[in-house]
């Protein structure tokens, strides 16, 4: 198995829905400790890993939170109603397993009298195998968060599993930090693993406000356009290299940053794709708007089935993204 997959299993397996990122933060801090000069955590929970240098402040950000669900009500028969934490699509949820922070597991199902085409989240519930409400409350209470519980695998250079969005971005930054560990950086590098991106890009802005970077680059996943009969055409393919973001619904990236990222890729002999994401956004938007503005861009890992329990990406795209970011960190002026 690849090093990318090994890191993903460690980081991806940690419990970490938005607002509950503690386990992920501890895991990343342990993995990053040998590669940086200092590690701190801010009040909101962002993990900030710094590699000191005399040049420009460059901030790399990758969010460590995931989407999930939160228990809202338990009925008299012990079935748990829930609300979403981040963006969920009911079609991805039927008959999947979830896990609460205390280890309790359950299956999401639906009210069968409702036609599938009319289903909303209000028609779904979590079955934890309880006899009644009293029995269920011994395992789950309103306000408890849960995440997808699904297997992961690596096959033919492809990784599949839950929460590649955005634990694979965190893996990309860890690989970048490792590659930079043997060098003396010209720039002052901050690797920030942000919180609460999935519920409104909340962590990235506070971290960037404190650091005041000269340049910021977000690392996240992006959709692909290579599946059969997709509604929205997109010039990004799985396994064809990392994507350099041009724009999405929340941001238009600074052309100078995009150009420097593309030059870094060329210097490494890496082919990159250009990303125009017509739906959704990333931490890039929050980084860009801090204080009087920050020159911001993004590198994205092409990923299929985003926000489902079975997301998919290519090992090669992750490895090349890390190499690109190393070159950018070392040579950006």
pLDDT in tens, 32-53: 999 999 999 999 999 999 999 9
Domain boundary among 148, 179, 200: 148
User: Domain residues for 102?
Assistant: 68-148
Per-residue pLDDT, averaged over 98-112, amounts to 96
Q: Closest by alpha carbon to 287, among 24, 12, 46?
A: 46
Contact present, 142 and 73 (Cβ < 8 Å): yes
CA 221 → CA 47, 78, 164, 238, 279, distances in Å? 19, 37, 8, 11, 13
Q: Put the strands of the sheet holding 158-161 in their side by side order.
A: 153-155, 158-161, 311-314
Catalytically active residues are 197
Per-residue pLDDT, averaged over 75-102, amounts to 95
Residue 155 lies in a domain: no
pLDDT at 332 over 90: no
Residues 238 and 256 in one domain: yes
Q: What is the CATH number of the domain that holds 239?
A: 3.40.630.10
Residues 266 and 325 in one domain: yes
pTM of the prediction? 0.96
Lowest mean pLDDT among 182-186, 191-195, 234-238, 268-272: 182-186
Residue 25 lies in a domain: yes
Q: How many domains does the chain have?
A: 2
Torsion, CA 224, CA 230, CA 233, CA 236, rounded to 10: 20
Domain boundary among 117, 148, 179: 148
pLDDT at 232 over 90: no
Q: Closest by alpha carbon to 56, among 182, 177, 184, 186?
A: 186
Residues 170 and 98 in one domain: no
């Amino acid at each position: 198995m690849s090093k990318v997959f090994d890191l993903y299993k460690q980081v991806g397996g940690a419990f970490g829905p938005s607002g509950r990122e503690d386990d992920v933060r501890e895991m990343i801090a342990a993995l990053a400790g040998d590669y940086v000069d200092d590690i701190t955590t801010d009040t909101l929970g962002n993990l900030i890993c710094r590699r000191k240098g005399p040049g420009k402040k460059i901030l790399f950000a990758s969010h460590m939170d995931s989407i999930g669900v939160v228990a809202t009500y338990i009925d008299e028969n012990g079935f748990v109603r829930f609300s979403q934490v981040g963006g969920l699509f009911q079609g991805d949820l039927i008959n999947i397993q979830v896990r609460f922070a205390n280890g309790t597991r359950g299956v999401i199902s639906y009210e069968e009298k409702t036609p599938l085409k009319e289903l909303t989240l209000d028609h779904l519930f979590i079955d934890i195998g309880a006899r009644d409400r009293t029995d269920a409350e011994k395992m789950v209470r309103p306000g408890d968060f849960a995440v997808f519980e699904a297997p992961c695998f690596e096959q033919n250079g492809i990784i599949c599993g839950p929460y590649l969005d955005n634990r694979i971005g965190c893996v990309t930054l860890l690989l970048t930090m490792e590659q930079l560990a043997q060098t003396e950086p010209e720039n002052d590098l901050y690797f920030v693993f942000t919180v609460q991106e999935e519920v409104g890009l909340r962590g990235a802005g506070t971290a960037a406000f404190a650091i005041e970077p000269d340049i910021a680059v977000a690392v996240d996943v992006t959709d692909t356009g290579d599946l059969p009969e997709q509604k929205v055409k997109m010039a990004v393919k799985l396994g064809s290299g990392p994507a350099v973001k041009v724009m999405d619904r929340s941001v238009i990236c600074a052309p100078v940053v995009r150009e420097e990222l593309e030059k870094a890729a060329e210097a490494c002999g890496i082919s990159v794709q250009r990303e125009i994401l017509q739906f959704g956004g990333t931490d890039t938007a929050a980084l860009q708007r801090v204080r009087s503005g920050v020159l911001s861009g993004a590198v994205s890992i092409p990923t299929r089935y985003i926000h489902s329990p079975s997301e998919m990406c290519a090992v090669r795209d992750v490895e090349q993204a890390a190499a690109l970011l190393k070159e950018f960190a070392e040579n950006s002026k």
